Amino acid sequence: MDGLSAREVRAFAEMFGDSTSAGPLLASVGLPRWSQPAWEGLTAEEFWWEVSRLFAAGKVRAGRSRLLAVARESFPAHAVFAGGVGVRSGPSVWDVPPRLSRFVGREAELAELAERLAAGPVVSVVALAGMGGVGKTALAVEYAYRHEDEFDVVWWVAAEQAELVAGSLAELGEVLELPAGVEPAAVFAELRRRGRPWLVVFDNAEDPALVARFRPSDRFGRVLVTSRRADWGGLGRTVAVSTLARSDSVALLVGRLPVADPRVADRVAGLVGDLALALEQAAAFCAQTGTPLSELAELLAERLDDVIALGEVADRAGETVATLWELSTQRLVGTTPAAVELLEVLALCASDPVPLDLFDGHAALWGAGPLAEAAGDRVAWIQAVGALVGYSLASRDASAIWVHRLVQAATRRWMGTQRRAQVLAMLAGVLRADLPGDIRRSPQDWPRWRELLAHVSAVLARADDPVMAELAGESDLRAAAGDVSWLCDRTATFLQEHAQPAEALPLFERALAVTEAVYGPDHPDVSTRLNNLAMALQDLGRAGEALPLLQRALAIDEAVSGPDHPDVSTDLNNLALAL
């Protein structure tokens, strides 16, 4: 719905400046006397700004165009009324960044934002909250351009560095013809004195207390905040900004790269988790380097941690997905270090939700740092989880926590190889301690495996030999290798129990190789791994390949335990089945 522009408000205040002239005019376009703003305590301009808000809220269908048409009949030569419905005039004071050349989607969020900001004096502060790179600033800019005629003053404040906010507001004061260097309080006093609608946007604000100082105290003021923080309920209302809908992500990529195949664009959107900045960065990289989008898709699939640093968006100079969340994590290092360690653990898991009870009862296995302390203290644990959620670095529900795959990739980049090895070793130990070891014919233990299988697979994929070699000592390496071997063997057994022997086979082979490397070729655990690998080969109809493995297992157990040990009986039975 269209409200009146600042120019139109001034024109109506001049020509219809009292209830006697304004009342019948508004009644003639469908706004009866009892629905019109009260004149008591209002100047003529204030009265017409209130009318503009009623029109913008849809109180009168096509109110603005009908009002201009009626006014034009009375004053056909008036420059504003004679200009026609299509003539618009923006705010008298305007400082907003350029809008995106191609803004896609977000119609629901824009409608909700407009509804919140048009809610009268009940709500004067609205926050757009969401993870970094999700598109909050672009959404705020788009709102400002679409609703510019509803405000007489629109001012943009870069609020990420709190110490620079006062200077930005002082610049607004100078535009309002106040003395140079005026304090923010005087600027907002001048806005109130003018009695015209105004909007101040605090972009990328991290501290609600900073914005609280500037909360409007008049019915005309509105404050819009963009923030990664989620705790704005004490000041006003929050509009949650999530990742783009897949169709909008594809539209963004195809719009920027017209030759791109929509199916490839869909794949890229999935690989970057529909994050707006990542999509813009991908499009910029392809356009700047001539790289086909299909080739970038392969790189994203194979080397996500490296690719997130490629490409640069024109209006985000120096900022990529690789560096996007560094400031938030640096702040957490100083305030809630356990949250940073939790983020590191989550970065090495899959992007699926991680059950929060994985951290219950395993505090001793999380090392000797802040995370171990928090895992053993309910209050500290709630604070650590809450800090990640509060900075939009993670999401949670009652039973699980999860992190966007690009936040994971960025976190892995700055962890470094040695730290990744340490966290992987801890995580492998915790998973081994948590998961049931009895899998064969034990369906009562399968639900927990289903819940954690994706995370086990992620850990095993990351725990390759070069990474694990970064562990500090031989004992740490042996312990971690033992956990990795166990996870490989038990994961393979779970897959085999669910009729997936082909998927199980490479995990059984890896379990055998790791166990041999750690314990030597004649250890009893090697015999167990040989038996399990042989069973998978038999399930695949490859009993001939299984036979020498079973013969070797029998020889190991006879040498270690003697010919009459129960393990030898098991080996003989398995060997007979293969024969």
Query: Is 84's pLDDT higher than 60?
Result: no
Same domain, 301 and 380: no
Same domain, 185 and 51: no
Which of residues 44, 63, 83 is at a domain's end? 83
- Measured at the CA of 561, the angle between CA 558 and CA 566, to 5 degrees, comes to 85
Same domain, 215 and 172: yes
Same domain, 106 and 208: yes
Query: Is 87's pLDDT higher than 50?
Result: no
Task: Give the Cα separation of 26 and 66 in Å (integer).
Answer: 10
Which of residues 415, 448, 475 is at a domain's end? 415
Which residues 6+ apart lie within 8 Å of 240 measured at CB? Answer: 129, 130
The CATH number assigned to the domain holding 215 equals: 3.40.50.300
Query: Is 574's pLDDT higher than 80?
Result: yes
Same domain, 228 and 273: no
Residue 563, in any domain of the structure: no
Query: Is 83's pLDDT higher than 80?
Result: no
* pLDDT level of residue 1 (50, 70, 90 thresholds): very low
Query: Is 88's pLDDT higher than 60?
Result: no
Same domain, 109 and 68: no
Same domain, 157 and 201: yes
Residue 508's pLDDT is: 93
Residue 473, in any domain of the structure: no
Mean pLDDT within 222-235: 87
Which of residues 399, 415, 431 is at a domain's end? 415
* pLDDT level of residue 436 (50, 70, 90 thresholds): very high
Query: Is 120's pLDDT higher than 80?
Result: no
Buried b (16+ CB within 10 A) or exposed e, 230-268: bebeebbbbbebebbeeebbbbbbbebbeebeeebbbbb
Residues in the chain: 579
Residue 16, in any domain of the structure: yes
Query: Is 160's pLDDT higher than 90?
Result: no
Residue 466's pLDDT is: 66
pLDDT by residue (tens digit) across 263-301? 999 999 999 999 998 898 898 888 888 889 999 899 988
pLDDT by residue (tens digit) across 439-477? 888 889 899 999 999 999 999 998 876 666 666 566 677
What angle do helix axes 337-347 and 378-390 make, rounded to 10 degrees? 70
Count of structural domains, the chain:
4
Residue 472's pLDDT is: 58
Query: Is 123's pLDDT higher than 70?
Result: no
Same domain, 288 and 214: no
pLDDT by residue (tens digit) across 3-43? 787 778 888 888 898 888 888 888 888 888 888 888 887 88
Residue 113, in any domain of the structure: yes
Same domain, 347 and 364: yes
Residue 85's pLDDT is: 45
Q: Among 147-151, 168-172, 378-382, 396-400, where is mean pLDDT lowest?
A: 147-151
Same domain, 256 and 233: no
Portion of the chain with pLDDT greater than 70, in percent:
94
8 Å CB contact between 383 and 389: no
Mean pLDDT within 539-566: 91
Same domain, 280 and 165: no
Residue 430, in any domain of the structure: no
Query: Is 313's pLDDT higher than 80?
Result: no
Residue 504, in any domain of the structure: no
Task: Give the Cα separation of 505 and 491 in Å (integer).
Answer: 10
Task: Give the Cα separation of 529 and 45 in Å (integer).
Answer: 84
Task: Give the Cα separation of 135 and 146 in Å (integer).
Answer: 17
Residue 413's pLDDT is: 87
Buried b (16+ CB within 10 A) or exposed e, 397-428: eeeebbbbbbbbbbbbbebeeeebbbbbbbbb
Residue 546, in any domain of the structure: no
Residue 576, in any domain of the structure: no
**Domain coverage including residue 298:** 246-307
> What single letter denotes the amino acid at residue 494?
F
Average pLDDT of the residues of the chain: 86
Same domain, 407 and 393: yes
Which residues 6+ apart lie within 8 Å of 497 measured at CB? Answer: 439, 440, 441, 446
